[in-house]
Amino acid sequence: MPDTPTTTGRLGRYQQVVRILLRYGFVDLVSQPPLNKVPGLGRLVTGKDGTAELEWTRYERIRMALAELGPTFVKLGQVAANRPDLLPPELIAELEKLQDEVPPMSSTDFEAVIEAAYGERRHEFFDEIDPKPVAAASIAQVHRARLKSGEVVALKVQRRGIRSIIEADIGIMYTLAELVERLLPPDFYARPTEVVRAFEQQIKKELDFKLERIHMEQFRKLFARERKVHIPRPWPEYSTDTVLCMEFIEGIRLGDLAGLKANGIDPKKLARRGIQLYFRQFFEFGLYHADPHPGNIIVWPDGTICLLDFGQVGRLTPYDQELLGELFVAAIQLDARGIRQVLVRYAMVETGEDGPRLEYEINDLIATYAELPIEQIDFRDLAARIFDLVYRFRLRLPSNLLLLAKTLVIAEGMGLRLDPSFHLLQDLQPWAMKLVSQRYGPAAIAKKLGKGVLDMLRLSARLPRYLEELLEKANEGRLRIEFEHKGLNAFYHELDLIANRLVLALLIAALILGSSVVVLARIPPLINHVSAIGLAGFVLSGILALWLLVNILRRGRY
């Protein structure tokens, strides 16, 4: 596969993408009235296995289309599944089913990548490299190797040409997203380009092996004093832009309950140790491993937890941690107003008239859990319902919060797999309370007051200069005040539509009057004593009038 796609290759990829989207789009069209009532039309659209695709829901067809489009679009679906503030819950549920397991590279492609990465140095660095991968995903696959010094290492090898493939597919995604946005009304909530941009940012980080190596070093420092937590050692001297060399980790997969028990490891205790490990990353470090599925967590026979794959890492600022503490405490205490206030602050928007209604819906939601003890509250169900409200009230939350929410949901699933009686909120409560007490304790308040006093002193020192500059601009006539109008896009759109219709109506009237004059004057050429120019004017005005009438009736505004 070439490193840079040719123009012909890109064109072929465009044709393939458009063909698949058109087919699934035609399915969606046929599934809606009135075409769904046409006998036999549904048989024209069948899947690869011959099944009738009309039997699937719209959201299932979206998931199927992404899977058929290939690894890049599957990745897009996985990123989009982390945006419950932009997409409906039913679509999120389908996108979460997308899997990242793909066949490994061919041996020819693998050898080409290794040769390009190391060249002659390959035999200086390694005694052997196993051509059979230990694991394979859409971006890279892992191989076992042995250094000249005797250490066994893991080589994470990027797929051949994957960067250029992803670059080409991202270009296609932007083109399609911009096309869809042109068809959407100006005030429409969701923006497809935002989803593509979030995907581009995430996948570029996953392609950056230098960044992943830095993350591994950071986590090794953070857990340096932890005896029961291990982060693989990276080998920078044997790593390149396309191959990441690291310590090879062997052990028991987190989901292997039989293996854990055979080595004397209590799954219930391990579940609590694992979740405490993640809470520490959230609330103490502000840096967390964001992909905690069982394949990325290995347990040694002595109970040590090893974290693998640092392609996805999340960061939390002190302000994020403060708001999270407040959100978790409000959720635990079933405080509707507290939940609404934190969500609105996180979204950085004004809810206006929707504020009381949002609070009422949150209050109605948590009434379901009000009489339940905390250990019986299903965190995943509670989070899903809150994000449903976020979507319906159009609160756009920052991506770091959404990544954290996804990580928590995966971590809860990990805990439940190890211990069916595991309850995340029960373990979360003391951490959230501790975080809030740290933020609002006497020491924290004194520190904030001290900082506020320093800020006031600094401002008071600068205030005379600011006032002098303001008065000078006013005196010289250079003082400008700018107003920004918000929420008027829809009004401007309607005003533009009205103006266009009015201009078209005047043009039609002018055509009719002008054609009438030409016909009465019998200006040649004549057809059966009727001016051909006047007749053409009547036909054109009739077509325009019919188009205007159909447009008005279709919009239902008359």
The three-state DSSP-derived secondary structure of 306-372 is EECCCCCEEECCHHHHHHHHHHHHHHHCCCHHHHHHHHHHHHCCCCCCHHHHHHHHHHHHHCCCCCC
Distances (CA, A) of 139 to 4, 30, 119, 209, 408: 16, 36, 22, 11, 24
Distance CA 389, CA 384 (A): 9
Distance CA 396, CA 164 (A): 31
How many angstroms from the chain centroid is the CA of residue 67? 17
Task: Please give the span between the terminal C-alpha atoms of the chain, in angstroms, as a whole number.
Answer: 58
Of the residues 291, 309, 335, 427, only one is catalytic, namely 291
DSSP string, 189-249: S--HHHHHHHHHHHHHHHH-HHHHHHHHHHHHHHTTT-TTEE-PPB-GGG--SSEEEEE--
How many DSSP H helices and E strands does the chain contain? Answer: 20, 13
SS3 300: coil
Q: Is the dihedral of CA 184, 185, 190, 192 positive or negative?
A: positive
Judge whether 419 counts as a catalytic residue. Answer: no
Token pair recorded at residue 338 = 């507290």
Residue 160's Cβ-count burial label (10 Å; 0-12, 13-18, 19+) is buried
Distance CA 42, CA 39 (A): 8
How many angstroms from the chain centroid is the CA of residue 227? 35
Distance CA 302, CA 270 (A): 11
Distance CA 308, CA 297 (A): 6
Could you list the active site residues?
291
